[in-house]
Structure 1
Amino acid sequence: MTATPALSVVVPVFNEQDNVAPLVGEVVAALRGNPLLGADGFEIVYVDDHSRDATLATLQGLKAQVPELRVIHHVEQSGQSTAIRNGVKAARGAWIATLDGDGQNDPADIPKLLAQRAQADATVKLFAGWRVNRQDSGSKRWASKWANAIRSRMLRDDTPDTGCGIKLFERAAFLELPHFNHMHRYLPALMQRAGFATVSVPVNHRHRTAGVSKYNNLNRALVGIADLRGVAWLIRRGKVTAVEELP
């Protein structure tokens, strides 16, 4: 791995001790030697959100085996959006791939997103995963369907699945976005507000095999109402102006 890798894979985790090693292994298998990354390769930036189990110790142990692995630790629990942002800020790659730490996203889809980027216009700064075959419970799928429908109607972001954890985006573009708790659920709308284009890419989705979900339908719904109103306000108040430097 070079000092400036072609890609940084950012993975936020909280109490995922049994999912860490398998997921790191899958990321390495998907990306090590991948021609889409060239000689610069990749790094993996795990952000431990002050886990209370052996997640941090497991990550520390893996660093000796996986030279691409870096570990960031929150000294207090701060939430998924903050973990993602801190991972992106610490990342050295110009492009970022994100994965949920529960193993439901498939790292083998990262090369698919990279291939889409290679074919896309330079104005596209976000390639968002689209879980076409959800492996969650029926109640979670139902709740997600309605949440996506309401979000799409309010924000008009033309994105079928904004909650999918696997995404590929330009680091610099991401760091221009307004930061707030749960902002990771609204990346397509926020990128479009900033004047960038986004593309949804069908990806695999898997059952959780270890650990427990950190969210339920009720807490998602309660925070989602306020978040939607806030993002809609940001979109209404946003303005993108082209600039040019005179000779």
Structure 2
Amino acid sequence: MDGDHAGGVAIGGRGDARRVRTSIVLPAYNERGNVEALVEEIVAVADGAEMAQFRPVEIVVVDDGSTDGTREVIRELAASHGRFRGVFLTRNFGQSAALCAGLDEADGEFVVTLDADGQNDPADVPRLLSRLLEGYDCVSGWRRDRQDPLSKTLPSRIQTSLARFTGPEIHDFGCTLKAYRREAVEELQLRGEGHRYIPAKLYNRGFAIAEEPVAHRPRTAGTTSYGAGRLLRGFVDLGFHVFWNRYSMRPLHFLGGTGVCLLGLGGLLGSHAVVMKYALGASLLPHLPRLVLVVALILFGFQLVMFGVLAEMQSRLLHRETRPYRIARIEGGEPEGQADRPVRRSREESPVAIEGGE
């Protein structure tokens, strides 16, 4: 493609970020054989009539510490395209970190994420963006006909079935092809394998989520990095997400409640021992293990209550500028002198190098 291309891919430096309507983000790890062809497809889609209302478009590719020459391919693309940017992480941080880096660099009012392996079809992007115009904040792709082996699809289905308990009725949590509004992107903080549960995170923060069937193509180059270790980390992250969503704002309810239950159980067993000793005159020596258990339950229960108090204090400090709700709109008279003051969360700076689009 020509660096002066003026169709779907916008021209201009980072300082002209307001011109960008849509950002397309691709996290890439060892995808040398796929990146260039996929970018060509994206540009062709961006030039199409269906994308007219979503232009100008920028493309952000994040190299997640690739070792197969992907970095060099991205550099060549960044040097030859006016609105293509390559973001290079210092090492392999994982897909969530790569996505987070790409979202941080995206300037568009709308943001689309795709896998760099070519299995997501860029032709589906306009449909997802059109759903955003219906009022949704996030539209997640649903790979109805997955072109993956059972070793990938079965664990994914199990994770999706469990993830449904977190909120939204989504069939395919693991699909990277998603479209977001800017407000939803600014809400995301991804860690571990947390990118799999983005719809649940946004749903629980009050954003409107939709799902759109999308195509899924077989991989033509490279190898997948999906393995048993990543699957296990995904389950761990799911458990943490469920816990965090329910108790991050009220840890005392969990820790303190558990502690009170242990204190009650210890008190009940202790009372039984007192009755046996002083009402029935029974010896407590045969019940010494039970007495040790009583002491342990009371001490552990008391510690949990104290930890709950400390966690509650820390949570209130951490969330002192966070509201446990999201306002859809405000209608009616605005108090005189009251101005809109949108608060945009600052993010920790990522160890990245950025090339292109300057």
TM over 0.5: yes
Match of 1:223 among 217, 233, 246: 233
Q: Displacement, 1:42?
A: 0.2
- Counterpart CA distance in 2 for 1:220 and 1:200 is 25
Q: Which among 151, 158, 168 is matched to residue 146 of structure 1?
A: 158
Residue equivalent to 2:69: 54
CA deviations over 1:48-86 (Å, ceiling 9, x no partner):
011111111111112344333111101122111111111
Alignment map for 1:53-132 (pairs within 5 Å): 53-118=68-133, 120-121=134-135, 124-132=136-144
Residues in 2 aligned to 1:40 and 1:223: alpha-carbon distance in whole angstroms: 38
- In percent, how many aligned pairs have the same letter? 36
TM-score, with normalisation over the residues of structure 2? 0.64
State which of 300, 312, 325 in structure 2 corresponds to 1:240. Answer: 325
Residue identity in the other structure for 1:240: Y
Q: Give CA-to-partner distance per residue, 1:110-140, whole Å, 9 cap, x none.
A: 011122222x12xx21000000111001232
More helix by share: 2
Corresponding residue to 1:201 among 175, 200, 212: 212
Q: How far does the alpha carbon of each residue in 1:198-239 deviate from its partner, in whole angstroms, 9 at most, with x for none?
A: 0000000010100000112x2233112211111112221363
In the alignment, what sits opposite 1:135?
A: 147
Q: 1:39 to 1:188 in 2, by over 3 A?
A: closer
Deviations 1:81-106 (A, max 9, x none): 11111111111112110000111100
Q: Please tell me whether Structure 1 or Structure 2 has the larger radius of gyration of its CA atoms.
A: 2
RMSD between aligned residues: 1.9
Which of the two has greater strand per residue?
Answer: 1
Q: Which residue of 2 aligns with 1:45?
A: 60
> Offset at 1:35?
5.1
The correspondence for 1:178, drawn from 186, 189, 201, is 189
User: Is 1:167 the equivalent of 2:178?
Assistant: yes
User: Are the structure 2 counterparts of residues 25 and 194 from structure 1 closer, same or farther at C-alpha, using a change threshold of 3 Å?
Assistant: same
**CA separation in 1, counterparts of 2:145 and 2:198?**
21
| Secondary structure, counterpart of 2:31 in structure 1 | coil
Provide the secondary structure at the position in 1 that maps to 2:128: helix
Q: For residues 108 and 222 of structure 1, what CA distance do their matches in structure 2 show?
A: 32
Residues 60 and 85, structure 2, Cα contact 8 Å, conserved in 1: yes
| SS of aligned partner of 2:226 | coil
Q: Runs of 5+ in structure 2 lacking a partner?
A: 1-9, 250-323, 337-358
**CA–CA distance in 2 between the matches of 1:206 and 1:39?**
25
Partner residue in 1 for 2:350: none
How far apart, in 1, do the equivalents of 2:58 and 2:72 lie? 19
Give the gaps of 5 or more residues in structure 1: none
Q: 1:172 to 1:83 in 2, by over 3 A?
A: same
1:213 and 1:134 map into 2 onto residues whose CA distance is: 14
Would you say the 8 A contact 1:88–1:171 is kept in 2? no
- Paired positions, count: 242
Structure-1-length-normalised TM-score: 0.91
